[in-house]
Amino acid sequence: MADVLAPEEILARIPQQEPFRFVDEILEVGDDRVVGTYRWRPESDFYRGHFPGHPVTPGVLLVECMAQCSVVPLAIHLFHRQGLAGTLTTFFTDANVEFAAQVPPGARVRVETSKIYFRRRKLKVQADMSLEDGTPVCSGQLAGIGVIA
């Protein structure tokens, strides 16, 4: 089994980049768990139209943030542990998410993830997003698969 990547190394390997990168920091990573954070940039262009006068982070971007803070870094870690680093890229494949609160511009969110299963290059997780003060935002199951890079 390969050595363990540091959270900063995993963050550097996440393929999404600005302006479509929604993970700032990986706080914790292990074979069964990942914790990541992201601060929503108030200057992001999508806030102008969602919704004028009362900007709210779109739910589809919250789901993407959950994937980038959960499925992608955990898969990078697990593929590295199997000696497959650099040969597979993780594609987000599906989600079943329930929403509980809005995320305003400038808010920092935390995504805590636990592995449900990892087999045949497919990873499924339980991910829970909350605001910095602990307010639950959304939660659900997300999945991804490793494809040849």
Q: Give the tens place of pLDDT for each residue, 72-107.
A: 999 999 999 999 877 888 899 999 999 999 999 999
Average pLDDT value for the chain: 95
Q: Choose the catalytic residue: 50, 54, 77, 80.
A: 50
Is 54 labeled as catalytic in the residue annotation?
A: no
Q: Give the tens place of pLDDT for each residue, 22-56.
A: 999 999 999 999 999 999 999 999 999 999 999 99
What's the pLDDT score for residue 149? 73
Please name each of the domains of the chain with its CATH number. 7-148 (3.10.129.10)
| pLDDT band at residue 1 using 50, 70 and 90 as cut-offs | low
Which of 4 and 68 is assigned the larger pLDDT?
68
**HEC string for the chain:** CCCCCCHHHHHHHCCCCCCCCCCCEEEEECCCEEEEEEECCCCCHHHHCCCCCCCCCCHHHHHHHHHHHCHHHHHHHHHHHCCCCCCEEEEEEEEEEEECCCCCCCCEEEEEEEEEEEECCEEEEEEEEEECCCCEEEEEEEEEEEEEC
